[in-house]
């Protein structure tokens, strides 16, 4: 696994738990609004953090932090992900895994081996419309498999959508909510301009706070909870 970032403490990334965050480098997606170009675009990669440095740090946090979140980039791209998660679990941490859902077979292994305690999957658009977000179409059946696996996993999970107004219509959000019908948690994430994979996206906006709150209320007709971040 190639690690491009380590955040040593967070109170907000694992619901109700303190955690450290490992950022894996490399992603098979190119979402225009992605905030982590240094983890996604090879020319922008920054220094790699050796796994040993990460594990040495985690050793000092045993009993002090509840959990470790593994995010990216796309963690499921790394062949040794399952082994790394096993080591983290053996140290006594809860594990949250973030994924774009493109590799359901890896999620299945993690779930079957009881290696994850919380799964978070981005649902970026109606499953047949990913081309709008990143310029090509991901196999919709893979995304659907990941959604089904997560919803039937018996562990805690959330789905989330980052919302750029020109890329994600209100009808798109209704369709996504229908796709994850019955889900425990769905978050609408307000797009905020920053250093992005596609710098032309910096001129884009999201919906207003009020519109997002109204949408979240409406979408609770499909999911158990819908919130705004």
Residue number with CB closer to ligand SF4 (72 or 104) = 72
Q: How far apart are CA 70 and CA 32, in angstroms?
A: 22
- Binding flag, residue 101, ligand SF4 (CB under 6 A): no
- The distance of closest approach from Cβ of residue 60 to ligand SF4 in the complex, given in angstroms and rounded to an integer, is 28
By beta-carbon proximity to ligand SF4, the closer residue of 58 and 120 is: 120
Task: Kindly give the pairing relationship between strand 67-71 and strand 17-24.
Answer: parallel
**For ligand SF4, which stretch binds (CB under 6 A), given 16-24, 31-39, 152-160, 174-182?**
31-39
Out of 73, 75, 104, 126, name the contact with ligand SF4 by CB under 6 A: 73
Span of 33-41, 62-70, 86-94, 173-181 interacting with ligand SF4 by CB under 6 A: 33-41
By CB under 6 A, tell whether 5 contacts ligand SF4: no
Q: Does 69 bind ligand SF4 (CB under 6 A)?
A: no
Q: Does 190 bind ligand SF4 (CB under 6 A)?
A: no
Could you give phi then psi for residue 21, rounded to 5 degrees?
-125, 125
Distance (Å, whole) CA 70 – CA 73: 10
CB 57 within 8 A of CB 8: yes
Which one-letter DSSP state was computed for residue 49?
B
Q: Which of 10, 30, 45, 193 contacts ligand SF4 by CB under 6 A? A: 30
Please list the alpha-helical segments (H only) found in the chain. 37-40, 51-61, 81-90, 104-112, 131-134, 140-151, 170-179, 209-219
Q: Is 104 in the site for ligand SF4 (CB under 6 A)?
A: no
Alpha carbon distance, N-terminus to C-terminus of the chain: 29
Stretch that binds ligand SF4, among 24-32, 41-49, 136-144, 177-185 (CB under 6 A): 24-32
Cα gap 6→20, rounded to integer Å: 7
* Region binding ligand SF4 by CB under 6 A among candidate stretches 13-21, 72-80, 142-150, 170-178: 72-80
């Amino acid at each position: 696994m190639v690690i491009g970032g380590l955040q040593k403490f967070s109170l907000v990334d694992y619901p109700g738990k303190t955690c450290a965050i490992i950022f894996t480098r490399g992603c098979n997606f190119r979402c225009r609004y992605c905030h982590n170009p240094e983890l996604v675009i090879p020319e922008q990669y920054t220094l790699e953090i050796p796994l040993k440095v990460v594990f040495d740090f985690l050793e000092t946090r045993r009993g002090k932090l509840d959990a470790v979140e593994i995010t990216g980039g796309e963690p499921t791209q790394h062949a040794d992900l399952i082994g790394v998660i096993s080591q983290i679990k053996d140290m006594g941490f809860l594990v949250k895994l973030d994924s774009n859902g493109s590799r359901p077979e890896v999620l299945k292994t993690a779930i079957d081996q009881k290696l994850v305690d919380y799964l978070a999957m981005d649902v970026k658009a109606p499953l047949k419309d990913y081309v709008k977000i990143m310029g090509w179409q991901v196999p919709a059946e893979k995304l659907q498999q990941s959604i089904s696996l997560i919803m039937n996993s018996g562990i805690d999970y959330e789905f989330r959508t980052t919302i750029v107004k020109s890329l994600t219509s209100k009808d798109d959000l209704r369709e996504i909510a229908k796709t994850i019908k019955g889900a425990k948690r769905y978050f609408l994430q307000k797009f905020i301009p920053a250093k992005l994979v596609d710098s032309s996206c910096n001129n884009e906006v999201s919906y207003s706070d009020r519109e997002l709150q109204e949408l979240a209320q409406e979408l609770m007709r499909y999911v158990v909870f819908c919130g705004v971040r």
